[in-house]
Structure 1
Amino acid sequence: MSKLELKGIHHTFSGKKQRVPVLSDVTLHVKEGEFVSIIGPSGSGKSTLFHIIGGLLTPSGGEVWLDGVSVTGTKGLISYMPQQSSLFPWRSIEANVALSQEVAGVSRSAALDKAREWLPKVGLGGYEHELPHVLSGGMQQRVSFLRALLSPQEVMCLDEPFGSLDALTRQAMQSWLLNIWEQNKRSILFVTHSIEEAIFLSDRIYVLSNKPAQVIEEFIVPFERQRHEKVMMDPKFHELRQHIQSLLRQEILS
């Protein structure tokens, strides 16, 4: 059984003068412990899809299923990591990490204990009482990911979490994310604009069309776990990247 399943999702935004179709019959799934990426042209509705999964938007059509139950329009069932770290500047690092647990009903003391346990594991030991502005962009994203990881929801939706980082930091964060994920194997749905990032991280990749978005192809990534950066030198990696790039180019030019 899939952990998360989207069945025929349609969505249209209604403005004062026109209706704008954004999603058209999007069907996809994420199995338990699976890392799945979505990639598509800019403006193709990827973030809208996450808002629907998280219950912030009710789709114009279709259903969201979680653990075999229809949960369309229900909030609080996934953990979410946005494009920016979205840390509260007045809260300490440990308090930012603890926030998702507190919202879920865990006592503040227990949530802080869990944050203190985990921060050294992600290379942030010694920063527990600092404020976010002290940290680099990559370190702030670690805090944001850890906050999502420690929330009780089993499905994590990551919305271009490394898009604002420089190339070297981004590559380091990709390896870091894989290392942490392989220790926990949460179910992850990951949005990215980077084809290389999607292939390196994922078990499967869905490629979306231009708006109104629909799935135009699904790829199974042919590399075993645990995965290391040397996989990027594999000819199969380049073949898959070129295939996906060709699909996206056709969508952009169409």
Structure 2
Amino acid sequence: MTKLQLKNLSKSFPVQGKREVRVLDGIDLHVKEGEFVTILGPSGSGKTTLFHLIGGLIQPTSGAICLDGREVTGMKGLVSYMPQQASLFPWRSVEENVIMTREIAGLPKHESLRLAREWLGKVGLQGYEREFPGVLSGGMQQRVSFLRALLSPQELMCLDEPFGALDALTREDMQRWLLNIWERNKRSVLFITHSLEEALLLSDRIYVLSNKPTRIVREVQVPFERPRSEHLPEKPEFIRMRRELYDLLKTVDSGG
């Protein structure tokens, strides 16, 4: 079953009130139920704009957005979103940050807190439930942000470069952690990253975007079996696919 479908989606923005610049030009993509799909593209190609459209924060110039076969273009509150920064509220405890999206949805607080405490224990944050975010490391804050998205009642998760601000070792640890959590839960995920290794390690499929006006230049099926091994990046097939993606992005970034 298809969870998300974008149909010929385009978006233009006015520049100095005189003319419009087209950022997205006829984007067609889909995410199946329980599938992990990644978007790769040059900086400034409109990846975050795409998420704002999916989340209903802005309206497309043309095209349609469908969830579970129903058109939801321009509608808010239907997807779970994790931004580039953890974006935790410093005055709320860790567990209160985790349950925030469930509170907004009107779900019972006592049940949400039970879930939050259960999951915080699963991800190595037991004992931090009533601490405030300021005492947590960057990687720990990202885990809290991910749990907030995971426990949201919305089934589709949109993850916007969630590990981009982390150091290399913490990022690798978070990749393995996310892979382990996702393979146990199989939520539908649309993921943005600049990391080729991250895309190949995590994804079922990858969409490669062009420069603006942005189009999809290639859809890549990732053939590696699940569960994914932490040694996968050392395999010859992984290295070959990474090189192919690198060469493709280099061509796209140069306008070739």
Q: Give the TM-score, by structure 1 length.
A: 0.98
1:2 aligns with 2:12: no
Matched residue, 2:89? 88
Q: Distance in 2 between matches of 1:101 and 1:93?
A: 14
What SS does structure 1 have at the residue aligned with 2:31?
strand
1:41 aligns with 2:42: yes
Matched residue, 2:14? 14
Q: Distance in 1 between matches of 2:90 and 2:112?
A: 19
What SS does structure 2 have at the residue aligned with 1:216?
strand
Unaligned runs of 5+ in 1: none
RMSD (CA atoms):
0.8
Deviation at 1:144, TM superposition (A): 0.1
Question: Structure 1 vs Structure 2: percent identity of aligned residues?
Answer: 63
- 8 Å contact kept, 1:175–1:228: no
Q: Which stretch shows the higher mean deviation, 24-33 or 228-237?
A: 228-237
In structure 1, what residue type is equivalent to 2:247?
S
Q: Which stretch shows the higher mean deviation, 235-244 or 200-209?
A: 235-244
Matched residue, 2:247? 246
Q: Which runs of 4+ in 1 moved over 3 A?
A: none
In structure 2, what residue type is equivalent to 1:102?
E
What SS does structure 2 have at the residue aligned with 1:138?
helix
In structure 2, what residue type is equivalent to 1:171?
E
1:45-84 to 2 correspondence within 5 Å? 45-84=46-85
- 8 Å contact kept, 1:55–1:75: yes
1:110-157, Cα deviation, whole Å (9 max, x unpaired) = 221211111101110000010001000000000000000000111000
Matched residue, 2:144? 143
In structure 2, what residue type is equivalent to 1:27?
D
1:169-188, Cα deviation, whole Å (9 max, x unpaired) = 00000000010111110000
Unaligned runs of 5+ in 2: none
Matched residue, 2:111? 110
Matched residue, 1:183? 184
What SS does structure 1 have at the residue aligned with 2:110?
helix
Q: Distance in 1 between matches of 2:26 and 2:168?
A: 34
1:219-238 to 2 correspondence within 5 Å? 219-238=220-239
In structure 1, what residue type is equivalent to 2:91?
W
Aligned residues: 254
Q: Distance in 2 between matches of 1:24 and 1:138?
A: 35
Matched residue, 1:125? 126
Matched residue, 2:33? 32
What SS does structure 2 have at the residue aligned with 1:113?
helix
Q: Give the TM-score, by structure 2 length.
A: 0.98
Q: Distance in 2 between matches of 1:20 and 1:59?
A: 13
Q: Distance in 2 between matches of 1:228 and 1:133?
A: 33
What SS does structure 2 have at the residue aligned with 1:3?
strand
Q: Distance in 2 between matches of 1:63 and 1:4?
A: 11
Deviation at 1:17, TM superposition (A): 2.9
Deviation at 1:252, TM superposition (A): 1.4
In structure 1, what residue type is equivalent to 2:12?
T
Q: Distance in 2 between matches of 1:126 and 1:75?
A: 34
In structure 2, what residue type is equivalent to 1:172?
D
What SS does structure 1 have at the residue aligned with 2:126?
coil
1:197 aligns with 2:198: yes
